[in-house]
Amino acid sequence: MSWVLSLMQPPPLRLDLRSLLPAKLAGLSPAAVETLPLWQGRQALPLAEFFTVARGDGPDDSLVFEGDCSRCDRIGWQLQAGRIEVHGDAGDLVGTGMGGGEIVIDGSAGLLAGCEMQGGRLTVLGDVGDFAAAPLPGSMEGVKGGVLLVHGRAGARLADRMRRGLVLVHGGAGDFTASRLVAGTVAVGGALGAHPGFHMRRGTLLCLGAAPAASPGFIETRHDAGVIWQLLARSLAPYGGAFAGLPSRRARRLAGDLAMGGRGELLLPA
């Protein structure tokens, strides 16, 4: 049976939920879960101060948060297995460092969603804030694997310093999308903000919305990329939405950023 934690009311200060993972709750009694310490600022308080605890009908390796958790940070911190669901909004740093398992947010997420992911799948049915799929502040490496799927739109600096994996956004994205991209695929169904692909080294940035303003760092190529385009288009089509019809379209390919060697690519389907 799954654990269901229902937030009684939004906390006055931001709440750190990094310790609440399916594997850590396995085998505990409801009374033991209620006494688990949660950090709020510099103070550790029992979980029962904020959540009611119940058992659900889901599998044993699943954890469900109910309520407006927009002030609850670090949900699914370094998750390695199991499933976490949030029936509402989530706070900052959701899915940070996760290496496996699945997180589903039935709402929006705050800053740094999915940063430094190494595996697993993070799905956000609403929007994500700035620096999604980016490095933690002070770190040099961003996402190294896994899938971040956003059904709404993303803020600025999406996939900054990403090294591998897939980031797919059905809506638009803010400024500096895929900035300093090292490798991996970033696909955006809506319009991009200013300076997409800034200082990207390699990797792929796909934009289905309004074409971004021309950048001197990118130049259109005349290479025949039809086969590679079809492989990419067919892999993204199952995600639906604007991506469903990709295999029937052609794409312009721009190489860049020329300041970093020009080995990355910006794809603009026609």
Q: Is 126 exposed, middle or buried (0-12, 13-18, 19+ CB in 10 A)?
A: middle
Tell me the per-residue pLDDT of 59-91, one tens digit each, with 9 for 90 and over. 778 999 999 999 999 999 999 999 999 999 999
pLDDT, residue 60, reads 78
Helix (H) or strand (E) holding 7: strand 3-7
Tell me the per-residue pLDDT of 145-192, one tens digit each, with 9 for 90 and over. 999 999 999 999 999 999 999 999 999 999 999 999 999 999 999 999
| Contact (Cβ atoms closer than 8 angstroms) between residue 190 and residue 174 | no
Helix (H) or strand (E) holding 227: helix 226-236
DSSP 62-112: EEEEES-BTTEE-TTTT--SSEEEEES-B-TTTTTT--SSEEEESS---TT
Tell me the per-residue pLDDT of 180-220, one tens digit each, with 9 for 90 and over. 999 999 999 999 999 999 999 999 999 998 767 667 788 88
* Band of residue 110 on the pLDDT scale cut at 50, 70, 90: very high
Rounded mean pLDDT, 24-28 = 89
The Cα 46–Cα 145 span in angstroms is: 34
Q: Which two tokens stand for residue 55?
A: 């058992």
pTM given for the model: 0.93
Helices (H) and strands (E) in the chain, counts: 3, 17
Contacts of 180 (CB under 8 A, 6+ apart): 160, 161, 198, 199, 200, 201
The Cα 6–Cα 100 span in angstroms is: 24
Q: How many CB atoms lie within 10 A of CB 222?
A: 6
pLDDT, residue 251, reads 86
Tell me the per-residue pLDDT of 47-66, one tens digit each, with 9 for 90 and over. 999 999 999 887 778 999 99
CA nearest to 177, candidates 226, 128, 244, 216: 128
Residue 221, SS3 per DSSP: coil
pLDDT, residue 214, reads 60
Q: Per-residue pLDDT for 226 more than 80?
A: no
